[in-house]
Homo-oligomer: A and B are copies of this chain.
Amino acid sequence: MARQPIPLRWKLARLEADGLPGPWIPSTVPGAVQLDWAAANALPDYSHGDNVRFWQGLEDYSWLYRAELDATPTLVSGERLFLIVEGVDYACDVLLGGRRLLQHTGMQIPIRLDVTDSWKDGAELDILIHLAPKAADMPAGRAQARESCKPAVSYGWDFHPRLIPLGLWQNAFLEVRSAVHFHEAPEVKYSLSEDCTLACGELRVMLNSPATANMTLTWRLRKSDGEVVISQDMAVEPGMSRLSVPFRLEQPALWWPHDQGLPSRYISEVSLLDEAVAEVDGHSARIGFRRVRLCMAPGQWEEPHLFPKSRSRPPLTFEINGRRIFAKGSNWVCPHIFPGAVGRVEYESQLRLAHESHFNILRLWGGSVAPQDCFYDLCDELGIMVWQDFPLSCNAYPDTEPYLTLLDQESRSLIKRLKRHPAVVLWCGGNELFNAWSGMTDQAFALRLLNRNTFELDPATPFLPTAPVEGMGHGHYVFRDMEAGEEAWGIFQKSSCSAYSEFGCPGPASVETLKRILPASELWPPRSGTSWETHHAFAAWLPDSWLHLAACNHYFGPSETLEELVERGQFLQAAGFQGLFEEARRQKPVSSMALNWCFNEPWPCAANNSLISWPCEPKPALAAVGLACRPTLLSARIRKLAWKAGENFDPEIWILHDGPNGIGAFEVAVWLEHDGVRIPLVRWTAGPIDANCNLQGPRVQCRLPKMSDPRFRLLLEAEGHPEFGSCYILLKENEPVPKIAKDSPARAMNF
């Protein structure tokens, strides 16, 4: 027999001051103790107003989960009974009949506990969740997470309220296994030939204990259409426990990011059969064949060229299956405050938006929890690369033995879980660790440990100690730096990064969302000290983050209504991100990556850098970014957003092209459109264009005419290729703009 899961129902009690459980309440697993508690005690919706305060502090209790079985498990000869807990948040004891069987710490380490010999029918199976880890003597905030592997975001972040989940965040059940079974998931280890036309490797299987009789291991590797490409049976003799089946696969269908090819996958089916050819254990998984390298951008080896010479910048250009590609995407943060409350459905709706926006990569930011396997399965399927951070973010994680022991276990568990996914193309130690606000360095033991563990367990996937590293840039996080008087567009145009791995432009949520989450009395005007602040419109990072009223006022003058403010804020976000993604792309091949901050959010923020509002409501910026990330588009490098009549308007015209094939020549027309009038600026016969190459075109020189409308447009059109066309909405400087219902590059282009 293969594995037989036995579902468990769970109930929950809070341990009170006397150390005894309080009243039992129903529990939903996967979930969180706070969600169960809130349901049982009718706590108000935390996403409304400042209700979140009613939810705080529950992490300072211990909580007892108790299993309820519908039937007593029965085992036949030799079978083993396991308790499987796929994810615990964060530390627990497992007790059976009051006796502690296991102490456990870590969100990524599954519990696989053989309880056969401890089992007594009727004995209570309990999981005692310990209170959330908080580093001693640290103020409330992320620094409390600096000695644990609990992701720091829930301790309070500029887009996340302080609300620290606890509980069983993944499934918890019993499972009957044969006496001999797979100790860990069988692994297909391979390497590709230099030209990627041959995969060689081995299937690695480790049994929990040596075989006691003659058995057979069977392995079938199938294409998605079911065709078997590898079929191997191996005799397993008594005493064997580590099995290896070598293989060689010619012309493997490669896994590609979706913008470069098909994300082909295979199904690996492994069975262990007894002498009667009955299956005693089985395992099926989708895998993919790909090779990933980080490469130096052209010209980077020639730098630095002056004495005293330092090192050349590290390589940050992804090469997938021998092809250098430009990585376009976003920083994916936790999609929910409670990671146990979301799953495949929620992931899929977000990931489909990312795919439709032409993103080929997501960085799974280290402040958040690495999600369940189904997330990575979806990325495999959709051809979206994953840069996976370890759970370190903006703290000085210590060199101490207890922390390093935790990190060692947690990281090994995460690497083993994710390494089969072809989408996972980068391991990274964590977020902004080499910056002042974290204070870690290359010498930090935590990062040397992570370098070691990834090297030992998954050397075929590159490792970076943190982001940013040398040559990589983070920020800015506003469209206009009011103090410096600089716009993000101009800052990027002066920069020369190998990778832009974080850059933000904040924008408000929709009017509907704001009305849903903010008390009516606080809606207008937005003010700090209200629920606007609870929802990060103010004092999230700088006092005026993320609503950034000052920037809105700078470009448009004071807004008179909520609707006006939202339209303007969302316009700035969309315009900002459009310009930043395109500028990062224009700087290819020195630049090889553009990831905005951030894709999603864990709860409804009143304003945030995210492209979608919680749970999955696109802001206008998403469509603008989707246009900026098209495989091929006409693009303009524009110095600034707001212009005066009489100024020299001088955009540089480019064709941005990330596709794997070349394009023939075509005619480009550039127009200025104002007050309903179209003025031709320049025509250009562009191309032909090589695969994965940009092409710089002419620079427009135009004295701006007097215009009536407060906004004007630059239009770029490609003859025969309407899908390459682009539109930039620009402003007249310092002239208040009347209400425009909906205006964004996306809508203007009608894509």
Contact = CB atoms under 8 A, between A and B. Distances in A.
B443 A310 contact: no
B310 A473 contact: yes
Number of identical monomers bound together in the oligomeric complex: 2
A40 B433 CA distance: 62
A133 interface: no
A455 interface: yes
A296 interface: yes
A565 interface: no
A473 B315 contact: no
Given A302-B436, A308-B474, A455 B455 contact: no
A456 interface: yes
A313 to B, nearest CB: 9
Nearest to A311: B434
A484 to B, nearest CB: 9
Interface stretch (A145-153, A445-453, A528-536, A636-644): A445-453
A495 B452 contact: no
A448 B450 CA distance: 11
Contact of A311 (B302, B445, B468, B481): B468
Interface in A290-315: 293-294, 296, 301-302, 307-312, 314-315
Interface stretch (A78-86, A459-467, A507-515, A570-578): A459-467
Contacts of A302: 436
B491 A462 contact: no
Nearest to A310: B468
Contacts of A502: 308
Nearest to A293: B443
A228 B310 CA distance: 48
A310 B451 contact: no
A63 interface: no
Nearest to A488: B307
Nearest to A445: B459
A431 to B, nearest CB: 12
Residue picked from A439, A442, A469, A470, most chain B C-beta under 10 Å: A442
Contact of A312 (B436, B471, B500): B436
Contact of A476 (B308, B468, B472, B491): B308
A468 to B, nearest CB: 5
A166 interface: no
Interface of A: 293-294, 296, 301-302, 307-312, 314-315, 434-436, 439, 441-443, 445, 448-449, 451-452, 455-456, 459, 462-464, 466, 468-476, 481, 491-492, 495, 497, 500, 502-503
A-B residue pairs, 4 tightest by C-beta? A308-B473, A311-B434, A307-B476, A307-B475
16 contacts: A294-B441, A302-B436, A307-B481, A308-B473, A308-B502, A308-B503, A309-B435, A309-B475, A310-B468, A311-B466, A312-B434, A314-B441, A314-B442, A445-B459, A448-B451, A452-B456
